[in-house]
Structure 1
Amino acid sequence: MEVSGKSKPKKTFSLSRGSAEDFILFCIPCDRDGARVPAKGYCSTCKEHLCDTCYKHHKKQTPSCHHILLDRDSMPTTPSVPVVQDEFDSCDDHGDEKLKFYCKDHDIVACSVCVTQNHRLCNVVYIPKLSKHILDSEELNEIMAEMKALEDNFKSQIKRVKDEMKAISQNHDGIIKAIHQFRKEINTRLDEMEKHVVKEADNILIKQQANLNDLSTGVKEITSKLTEKRKRIDNLIQRKCLDKLFVEMKKKQQRNDDNKNVKFYDTVQKKVVSEIKLTESPFDVSALTDDRFVVTVPDGTSIHFMLLRNQHIVSERKVNINEDCYGIAYSQDKLVVSCVNPGKVLILDLQGKILQRLNADKSLFSFPEYVTVNTAGTSIYVSDYGYSLENGVKQLDWQGNLLDTYQQAEVGKYLRGICELNDGTFLVCLAQDSDDNLRRVSDSCKPCKITMNKKLGKWYPEAVAYCQKSRKLYVSYSEKGFYKPKHRIKIFKVDWC
């Protein structure tokens, strides 16, 4: 029954239904009649699995007596289907052209016009030559795993938000019940106090529910988009649209790479004049000299040293810290770095060697995101994101002793970026959508007044920087929520009083 020297069926792929039927092959002719009969052989000519009865009849019938048959030991172990012909996407710049080519040098997909105009000297490959092995590629597996992990993470965040909202509601009900019980035990002179406390409790509830509802809406929106995108890729995989799948993967990678760039923005020309892509998303930056600076990469547990050469960013070296580095400041030939897991502050030399670990007993910080050092170099100021009443600005000496604290006593308002002004005071961002979302504190962590040339508006600030020469303030922010990406920068002319 086995015939050697014959070519294998062309353009077939093994499929998996993801169920208990993964390892059971059925007779195709019987399956068409609605019966599920285990396969005992295979016809290479018809490209179909056959049960024992169909296998025997196949050899006897005149039309199929010369077909090439394989017995149970030689037959394919997976069902086979023909390849579905792909349709190429149209080019955004040249609508009549299809995205059939991939430039390895620039890591982008392109049409024939794009290749002719912009990639004549590049290493360009026809996409079908690359995509035929994409289903077994590690890159596809990593993307699918990453999207699934993100989807699961956001679903867990939605559950956490619901649980917190329920706990807040229960806590609110308990406060009101306790207030009513207390009122019964005292005389009517406490009525005004009761009304005030109830009002404050309601305000706290409203603010917290508004923040959590905002967060929940954002998480649901992101989760919905991820689910839709994952279903689209799943559909392309099932239909074997390999070219579309390849293009979709590269588009997603190009969008993700936007969040991994360090950009040099010229405030005079008002445009980005240079940028450099990292393997992970950067978080904070600090200048060492006029043309050298350092960048923290939390997910990469590393610090990157960079320099500006003719207005172009050049990577100098990378130092692995093995800590989730967030905020960074430079003073006295030392780097001060904040870490959040657990909360601590590291003192390093310029070679990346850890000289000190502040908060060794893990009791001083909750979530220290940003850090700065005063101009005199005598104190370290840490903006502790924290939760509830734990957040605040912590003033430390270089041995890690707590000197003073600016306590952020308003529930639901979280401290973010911090910077020093030319008069020795500090500005701190609050993640909230109100006009009071920048706070000014003295070098001893006492509240100060702040006057600006225009109202801030309802926005969510993240990081803040101050230029002493131009007396301008630069604040990164989002208009939709403190969890949204901070893609914009507000610029203010400021005066202090």
Structure 2
Amino acid sequence: MSTKSMAVHGRNLPDKPFSNLSKNHDDDSNIFCNPCEQIGIKAPGFGICMSCKEHLCEPCFDSHKKRSRFHMLLDKFSIPKTFHAQLKQTKDDEFTTPCFTHKKEKIKFYCHDHDELLCSVCTTLDHPRNSCKVNYIPDVSGQSLNSKNLVEILEAMDEVIEKCKDISSDVKKKTNISNEALTDVLTEIKVFRLKINQRLDEIEREAEKKMQVIKLKNDSNLKRMEIICNNVKMKLTESVDLLKQLNDSKQADKLFVELKTAGKLVKDSKKTLLQFRSHKDIREYHFQPNQELLDSIQKENAIGKITSVFHQETIDIKTSQDKYKCWVTGMSFLTHSKFILADSGNVSIKLVDLVSNSTIHHLKLETAPWDVTCVTSEQAIFTLPNEKSIQFVSTSSNKLSLKQKLKVDGECYGISHCQDKLIVTFCYPGRVKILNMKGKILSEMKARFGHIGHIFNLPFYVTSNSQNIFVSDAGKQSVLRFNWNGEKTGSYNDLGSCRGLSLSPDGALFVCNHGSDDIHHVSPDFKSGLAIVKSLEMPIVVCWSETSRTFYVSNDSTKHNLNSIQSFKMVETS
């Protein structure tokens, strides 16, 4: 576009804008209109507004004179020769930011080639004009006003600020969790110590009772000995007195008889006293401390171990084929570095590699899967509730392919494989059945005779080992334990609406406490449990890796990133 056709503030520029400049102002050739520069136009200066301290081209000068009647304007013929330098010095005085390299210098220039702010020393030493495109900042700063770059930077800064707010909020939440954890752990230690003290008090009372029994027996025997001894002494004393009396009174016949009687009395008394000397009825007793207990108290972690859990990483499971948000309702390990999952949200199954933390294969299904269990490292089985069927899947060569399908007699949800058998849960109505690998029903878990009500309500998930079968019942808000004969052997009820289960080799359970937003760790004896990770926002599936001491969790809340799996590592603190 020619200079002639350009318009500034609604006015046309002159045909030859440089022709009106005074020939006595050759150094003015690099002076341009400041308002025009701000919109990207290089219009030569014609005059100056002393009030605004701005150079103006002729159209801007005329327009400014009309709009700002009380401003002092000087045309090119009236401007003092030194004023351009003074105005430039005024502009220079506006620079206050020190150079990043030369602290005593101020930033005045910009290098386009290196996208760097410079001082005059930088331009001389590191960014000479013969090799870099360098501009005096006032010459190019006008284009920043209302620019696209300004909008982008503001948006980027807003985004970072929002992230900072999120992190700050998360830090506050985690600080509260950490503080609560300290309080909870100290309370648990005190409760445990109280239990120990109570047990020691019981042991002490039991020992005292035993010693009291021994003492009572000793007291009884000693009393009996004292009585017998007193009787012997009394008889002998009486006999002595009688013998002396008869002897003094010269009653020989009676003395003879009493002597014989006294001899027998002495013999019998000695025999009685001889029994007392053996002390066989008197027991001595003493206390021998339990050295094993003393040794155990001297050991590290004598009263127990402190286990810490921390968020390790986030694994993105969304693929390019996914049209919707992921909703992971089932997950199971194939190997220590790969697991397979059911993405009900995208009606698909996925193979995830933990080395690359990515989905390495994806297979679309006709109906949404719910749960999954692994038979071998190359075979998995999914439940398809809407189809009332069980789908076998091959995972060989890191590829997923559909195999045989078994029809079942209801909407199947949870599934577990153990000892070449399948344990399957059904909802609507709630049932749990044990099948062989061909789908034949071997047994069903039922309530005992006389039991009132249904044994299951909403048994969404199940897991098992060679001894027990564990069923997570969301309706009953509990985990139920059964033996392989289908007999209920226990329950853990300190839960909300529970979901997924994962079993550790020692028999402890990890439970998704969906209603209370935490992962619950239940002891192998089913007598105790605690929330080891809180504020998870509706966890639905948990999968434990004994090899890495890590568990993986999927969530059921839109507040969370449903397109990812969260991993948490457990560490025992010495």
Kindly indicate whether structure 1 or structure 2 has the higher relative contact order, using CA contacts under 8 Å at least 6 residues apart: 2
Larger Rg: 2
Asked whether the two chains share a fold, i.e. TM above 0.5, the reply is no
